Amino acid sequence: MMNFKKKISYSFDRGSKFYESNSNIQKKICVDLVKFYKELSTKNDRIKFKNALEMGCGSGFMTNQIKKLENFKKIHLIDISKKMISKAKENLSKENFSYQVADFDTFNNYKIYDFFFSNMSLHWSENFSIFFFNLLSQMPTDSTFIFSIPTEIKFDFDSLEINKNLFEELINTLPDTDFLEKQIDKKKFNFFSKKKIFKEKFKKPLDFFFNLKSIGANTNLKKTKTNIFFLRRMNSEITINYNVSFMFIKKIRA
Ligand SMILES: C[S@@+](CC[C@H](N)C(=O)[O-])C[C@H]1O[C@@H](n2cnc3c(N)ncnc32)[C@H](O)[C@@H]1O
Protein backbone atom coordinates (compact mmCIF):
# COMPACT_ATOMS: atom_id res chain seq x y z
CA MET A 1 0.00 0.00 0.00
CA MET A 2 1.27 3.46 -0.93
CA ASN A 3 1.62 5.86 1.98
CA PHE A 4 -0.18 9.21 2.19
CA LYS A 5 2.69 11.32 0.76
CA LYS A 6 3.51 8.88 -2.02
CA LYS A 7 -0.12 8.85 -3.11
CA ILE A 8 -0.17 12.66 -3.35
CA SER A 9 3.12 12.99 -5.25
CA TYR A 10 2.19 10.12 -7.59
CA SER A 11 -1.18 11.68 -8.31
CA PHE A 12 0.18 15.19 -8.99
CA ASP A 13 3.02 13.72 -11.08
CA ARG A 14 0.32 12.17 -13.26
CA GLY A 15 -1.76 15.37 -13.23
CA SER A 16 1.17 17.57 -14.25
CA LYS A 17 0.49 16.81 -17.91
CA PHE A 18 -2.94 18.47 -18.01
CA TYR A 19 -2.69 20.68 -14.94
CA GLU A 20 -2.23 23.94 -16.82
CA SER A 21 -5.11 23.43 -19.24
CA ASN A 22 -7.58 22.08 -16.64
CA SER A 23 -6.90 24.20 -13.56
CA ASN A 24 -9.21 27.14 -14.35
CA ILE A 25 -10.60 27.47 -10.85
CA GLN A 26 -7.12 27.40 -9.23
CA LYS A 27 -6.01 30.17 -11.62
CA LYS A 28 -9.06 32.34 -10.83
CA ILE A 29 -8.45 31.92 -7.10
CA CYS A 30 -4.77 32.77 -7.55
CA VAL A 31 -5.60 36.05 -9.34
CA ASP A 32 -7.89 36.93 -6.42
CA LEU A 33 -5.23 36.05 -3.87
CA VAL A 34 -2.74 38.40 -5.54
CA LYS A 35 -5.43 41.14 -5.61
CA PHE A 36 -6.22 40.54 -1.92
CA TYR A 37 -2.52 40.90 -1.11
CA LYS A 38 -2.14 44.04 -3.22
CA GLU A 39 -5.04 45.71 -1.41
CA LEU A 40 -3.59 44.96 2.03
CA SER A 41 0.06 45.78 1.48
CA THR A 42 1.62 49.16 0.87
CA LYS A 43 4.23 49.76 -1.80
CA ASN A 44 6.71 50.61 0.95
CA ASP A 45 6.05 47.30 2.63
CA ARG A 46 6.48 45.41 -0.57
CA ILE A 47 9.84 46.65 -1.77
CA LYS A 48 11.45 45.33 1.38
CA PHE A 49 11.02 41.65 0.51
CA LYS A 50 14.01 39.86 -0.87
CA ASN A 51 13.79 36.16 -0.41
CA ALA A 52 10.45 34.45 -1.10
CA LEU A 53 9.24 30.88 -0.79
CA GLU A 54 6.33 29.33 -2.71
CA MET A 55 4.90 26.18 -1.12
CA GLY A 56 3.15 23.67 -3.43
CA CYS A 57 4.07 25.67 -6.55
CA GLY A 58 2.53 23.27 -9.11
CA SER A 59 3.35 24.53 -12.60
CA GLY A 60 4.48 27.94 -11.29
CA PHE A 61 1.30 29.96 -11.98
CA MET A 62 1.36 31.92 -8.71
CA THR A 63 5.04 32.83 -8.96
CA ASN A 64 4.33 34.10 -12.47
CA GLN A 65 1.53 36.34 -11.13
CA ILE A 66 3.26 37.68 -8.05
CA LYS A 67 6.51 38.50 -9.81
CA LYS A 68 4.56 41.09 -11.84
CA LEU A 69 3.82 42.92 -8.60
CA GLU A 70 6.92 42.30 -6.54
CA ASN A 71 10.58 42.59 -7.28
CA PHE A 72 11.95 39.74 -5.17
CA LYS A 73 15.66 39.09 -5.37
CA LYS A 74 15.01 35.37 -5.19
CA ILE A 75 12.05 32.98 -5.18
CA HIS A 76 12.48 29.39 -4.06
CA LEU A 77 9.73 27.06 -5.27
CA ILE A 78 8.95 23.77 -3.57
CA ASP A 79 6.55 20.99 -4.49
CA ILE A 80 6.20 17.36 -3.49
CA SER A 81 5.75 16.34 -7.14
CA LYS A 82 8.92 16.06 -9.22
CA LYS A 83 6.98 16.46 -12.45
CA MET A 84 5.23 19.62 -11.24
CA ILE A 85 8.66 21.08 -10.43
CA SER A 86 9.77 20.24 -14.00
CA LYS A 87 6.69 22.08 -15.35
CA ALA A 88 7.45 25.11 -13.18
CA LYS A 89 11.03 25.14 -14.50
CA GLU A 90 9.72 25.08 -18.09
CA ASN A 91 7.32 27.95 -17.38
CA LEU A 92 9.64 30.34 -15.57
CA SER A 93 12.83 31.98 -16.74
CA LYS A 94 15.99 30.82 -15.02
CA GLU A 95 17.08 33.99 -13.27
CA ASN A 96 16.06 34.51 -9.63
CA PHE A 97 14.31 31.16 -9.25
CA SER A 98 15.42 27.99 -7.51
CA TYR A 99 13.49 24.74 -7.23
CA GLN A 100 13.27 21.82 -4.85
CA VAL A 101 11.22 18.66 -4.65
CA ALA A 102 10.20 18.96 -1.00
CA ASP A 103 7.29 18.39 1.35
CA PHE A 104 6.13 21.57 3.09
CA ASP A 105 5.18 19.49 6.16
CA THR A 106 8.79 18.48 6.76
CA PHE A 107 10.66 21.40 5.12
CA ASN A 108 12.98 22.78 7.79
CA ASN A 109 14.38 25.96 6.33
CA TYR A 110 11.52 28.43 6.89
CA LYS A 111 13.72 30.80 8.93
CA ILE A 112 15.62 32.24 5.95
CA TYR A 113 12.66 33.67 3.96
CA ASP A 114 10.84 36.97 4.37
CA PHE A 115 7.83 36.26 2.17
CA PHE A 116 5.80 33.03 2.03
CA PHE A 117 3.02 32.28 -0.43
CA SER A 118 0.83 29.42 -1.52
CA ASN A 119 -2.27 29.00 -3.68
CA MET A 120 -4.66 26.06 -3.22
CA SER A 121 -2.01 23.65 -1.95
CA LEU A 122 -1.77 23.70 1.84
CA HIS A 123 -4.97 21.66 2.38
CA TRP A 124 -2.89 18.69 1.18
CA SER A 125 -0.91 18.93 4.42
CA GLU A 126 -0.94 15.80 6.56
CA ASN A 127 -1.96 18.00 9.49
CA PHE A 128 -2.71 21.58 8.48
CA SER A 129 -2.85 22.94 12.03
CA ILE A 130 0.64 21.58 12.89
CA PHE A 131 2.06 22.88 9.60
CA PHE A 132 0.45 26.31 10.09
CA PHE A 133 1.64 26.97 13.65
CA ASN A 134 5.09 25.59 12.87
CA LEU A 135 5.45 28.08 10.02
CA LEU A 136 4.14 30.95 12.18
CA SER A 137 6.68 30.17 14.86
CA GLN A 138 9.59 29.87 12.40
CA MET A 139 8.88 32.83 10.11
CA PRO A 140 11.15 35.79 10.92
CA THR A 141 9.82 39.04 12.42
CA ASP A 142 8.62 41.40 9.64
CA SER A 143 8.03 38.55 7.23
CA THR A 144 4.65 38.00 5.52
CA PHE A 145 2.69 34.87 4.70
CA ILE A 146 -0.23 34.85 2.23
CA PHE A 147 -2.27 31.89 1.05
CA SER A 148 -5.57 30.62 -0.25
CA ILE A 149 -7.14 27.35 0.82
CA PRO A 150 -10.49 25.65 0.20
CA THR A 151 -12.40 25.14 3.44
CA GLU A 152 -15.62 23.63 2.12
CA ILE A 153 -16.97 22.28 -1.16
CA LYS A 154 -20.73 22.20 -1.74
CA PHE A 155 -22.68 20.89 -4.70
CA ASP A 156 -25.83 22.13 -6.41
CA PHE A 157 -27.60 19.60 -8.58
CA ASP A 158 -30.91 17.88 -9.00
CA SER A 159 -31.05 16.18 -5.62
CA LEU A 160 -33.82 13.85 -6.73
CA GLU A 161 -31.13 11.82 -8.42
CA ILE A 162 -28.95 11.28 -5.38
CA ASN A 163 -28.67 12.24 -1.74
CA LYS A 164 -26.34 15.26 -1.41
CA ASN A 165 -24.67 13.91 1.72
CA LEU A 166 -23.56 10.85 -0.18
CA PHE A 167 -21.93 13.11 -2.74
CA GLU A 168 -20.19 15.27 -0.14
CA GLU A 169 -18.81 12.08 1.45
CA LEU A 170 -16.62 11.74 -1.63
CA ILE A 171 -14.69 14.92 -0.84
CA ASN A 172 -11.67 15.05 1.51
CA THR A 173 -12.11 16.79 4.85
CA LEU A 174 -10.81 20.36 4.57
CA PRO A 175 -9.11 22.55 7.22
CA ASP A 176 -11.24 24.65 9.57
CA THR A 177 -9.54 28.03 9.22
CA ASP A 178 -12.07 29.81 11.52
CA PHE A 179 -10.94 27.63 14.38
CA LEU A 180 -7.24 28.28 13.62
CA GLU A 181 -7.74 32.03 13.27
CA LYS A 182 -8.95 32.21 16.85
CA GLN A 183 -5.72 30.63 18.06
CA ILE A 184 -3.35 33.10 16.38
CA ASP A 185 -1.50 35.26 18.88
CA LYS A 186 -2.71 38.74 17.86
CA LYS A 187 0.12 40.42 19.81
CA LYS A 188 2.67 38.77 17.52
CA PHE A 189 0.80 38.82 14.21
CA ASN A 190 -1.18 41.26 12.10
CA PHE A 191 -3.79 39.17 10.52
CA PHE A 192 -6.45 39.64 7.80
CA SER A 193 -8.71 37.09 6.19
CA LYS A 194 -11.47 36.98 3.61
CA LYS A 195 -13.84 34.29 2.40
CA LYS A 196 -15.21 33.96 -1.09
CA ILE A 197 -17.26 31.38 -2.97
CA PHE A 198 -16.06 30.35 -6.43
CA LYS A 199 -18.42 28.47 -8.71
CA GLU A 200 -17.65 25.99 -11.44
CA LYS A 201 -20.22 24.19 -13.62
CA PHE A 202 -19.97 20.73 -15.14
CA LYS A 203 -22.38 19.02 -17.55
CA LYS A 204 -22.65 16.03 -15.24
CA PRO A 205 -21.28 15.05 -11.81
CA LEU A 206 -18.79 12.50 -13.11
CA ASP A 207 -17.13 15.24 -15.21
CA PHE A 208 -16.16 17.04 -12.00
CA PHE A 209 -14.31 13.96 -10.73
CA PHE A 210 -12.68 13.43 -14.12
CA ASN A 211 -11.46 17.03 -13.99
CA LEU A 212 -10.02 16.48 -10.48
CA LYS A 213 -8.28 13.35 -11.75
CA SER A 214 -6.88 15.12 -14.82
CA ILE A 215 -5.04 17.65 -12.60
CA GLY A 216 -3.96 15.08 -10.01
CA ALA A 217 -6.22 16.42 -7.25
CA ASN A 218 -8.21 13.23 -6.81
CA THR A 219 -6.32 11.47 -4.02
CA ASN A 220 -8.91 10.25 -1.56
CA LEU A 221 -7.51 10.75 1.93
CA LYS A 222 -10.49 9.30 3.74
CA LYS A 223 -10.19 5.91 5.36
CA THR A 224 -13.47 4.68 3.89
CA LYS A 225 -13.34 4.34 0.13
CA THR A 226 -16.38 4.95 -2.05
CA ASN A 227 -16.59 3.95 -5.65
CA ILE A 228 -17.66 6.92 -7.78
CA PHE A 229 -19.03 4.81 -10.61
CA PHE A 230 -22.52 4.97 -9.17
CA LEU A 231 -22.43 8.56 -10.55
CA ARG A 232 -22.40 7.29 -14.11
CA ARG A 233 -26.17 7.23 -14.33
CA MET A 234 -26.48 10.88 -13.25
CA ASN A 235 -26.87 13.28 -16.12
CA SER A 236 -27.93 16.58 -14.60
CA GLU A 237 -25.74 19.68 -14.63
CA ILE A 238 -23.80 20.28 -11.43
CA THR A 239 -22.40 23.47 -9.87
CA ILE A 240 -19.43 23.14 -7.56
CA ASN A 241 -19.22 25.85 -4.88
CA TYR A 242 -15.71 26.21 -3.48
CA ASN A 243 -15.64 28.15 -0.24
CA VAL A 244 -12.14 29.61 -0.21
CA SER A 245 -10.28 31.39 2.62
CA PHE A 246 -7.65 33.99 1.84
CA MET A 247 -5.18 34.91 4.56
CA PHE A 248 -2.58 37.61 5.01
CA ILE A 249 -0.35 37.27 8.06
CA LYS A 250 2.49 39.56 9.06
CA LYS A 251 4.74 38.73 12.00
CA ILE A 252 5.26 41.91 14.00
CA ARG A 253 6.98 40.49 17.07
CA ALA A 254 9.04 37.36 17.83
C1 LIG B 1 -3.87 22.16 -6.71
S2 LIG B 1 -2.15 22.23 -6.97
C3 LIG B 1 -1.86 23.99 -6.84
C4 LIG B 1 -0.64 24.38 -7.62
C5 LIG B 1 -0.34 25.87 -7.72
N6 LIG B 1 -0.11 26.46 -6.41
C7 LIG B 1 -1.44 26.61 -8.44
O8 LIG B 1 -2.02 27.53 -7.87
O9 LIG B 1 -1.71 26.29 -9.61
C10 LIG B 1 -1.52 21.62 -5.43
C11 LIG B 1 0.00 21.41 -5.48
O12 LIG B 1 0.46 21.16 -4.14
C13 LIG B 1 1.46 20.16 -4.20
N14 LIG B 1 1.55 19.52 -2.86
C15 LIG B 1 0.64 18.73 -2.25
N16 LIG B 1 1.08 18.35 -1.03
C17 LIG B 1 2.32 18.91 -0.88
C18 LIG B 1 3.28 18.88 0.17
N19 LIG B 1 3.07 18.21 1.31
N20 LIG B 1 4.44 19.58 0.00
C21 LIG B 1 4.68 20.26 -1.15
N22 LIG B 1 3.79 20.31 -2.19
C23 LIG B 1 2.63 19.65 -2.05
C24 LIG B 1 1.00 19.24 -5.31
O25 LIG B 1 2.03 18.42 -5.81
C26 LIG B 1 0.45 20.24 -6.33
O27 LIG B 1 1.43 20.64 -7.25
Q: Is residue 226 part of a domain?
A: no
Q: Is residue 97 part of a domain?
A: yes
Q: Is residue 51 part of a domain?
A: yes
Q: For residue 66, what pLDDT is reported?
A: 94
CA dihedral 201, 205, 211, 217 (to 10 degrees): 110
Q: For residue 224, what pLDDT is reported?
A: 63
Q: For residue 33, what pLDDT is reported?
A: 98
110, 124, 153: residue to mutate for ligand 1 pocket, most atoms within 8 A of CB? 124
Ligand 1 atom 10, closest CA: 121
CATH code, domain carrying 86: 3.40.50.150
> How many domains does the chain fold into?
1
Q: What is the pTM of this model?
A: 0.95
Q: For residue 49, what pLDDT is reported?
A: 83
Q: Is residue 192 part of a domain?
A: yes
Q: Is residue 201 part of a domain?
A: no
Q: Is residue 216 part of a domain?
A: no
Ligand 1 atom 26, closest CA: 58
Residue 253: other Cβ atoms inside 10 A: 10
Query: What is the number of alpha carbons within 13 Å of residue 9 lying toward its C-beta?
Result: 16
Start-to-end Cα distance in the chain:
42
Find the residues whose C-beta lies inside 6 A of ligand 1: 8, 12, 23, 26, 30, 56-58, 61-62, 78-81, 84, 103-105, 119-121, 124-125, 217
Q: For residue 19, what pLDDT is reported?
A: 97
Q: Is residue 61 part of a domain?
A: yes
Q: For residue 236, what pLDDT is reported?
A: 87
16, 28, 79: residue to mutate for ligand 1 pocket, most atoms within 8 A of CB? 79
Any bridge partners for residue 97, and if so which?
Answer: 75
Question: Residue 141: which domain range?
Answer: 4-150+174-196+244-251
**Separation of 121 CA from ligand 1 center, angstroms?**
4
Q: For residue 159, what pLDDT is reported?
A: 65
SS3 of 117-142: the string is: EEECCHHHCCCHHHHHHHHHHHCCCC
Tens of each residue's pLDDT in the chain, 254 residues: 578 899 999 999 999 999 999 999 999 999 999 999 999 987 767 767 889 999 999 999 999 999 988 888 999 999 999 999 999 999 997 779 999 999 999 999 999 999 999 999 999 999 999 999 999 999 999 999 999 999 999 988 876 667 777 777 888 999 999 999 999 999 999 999 999 999 999 999 889 999 999 999 998 887 666 677 777 878 889 999 999 999 999 999 99
Q: Is residue 218 part of a domain?
A: no
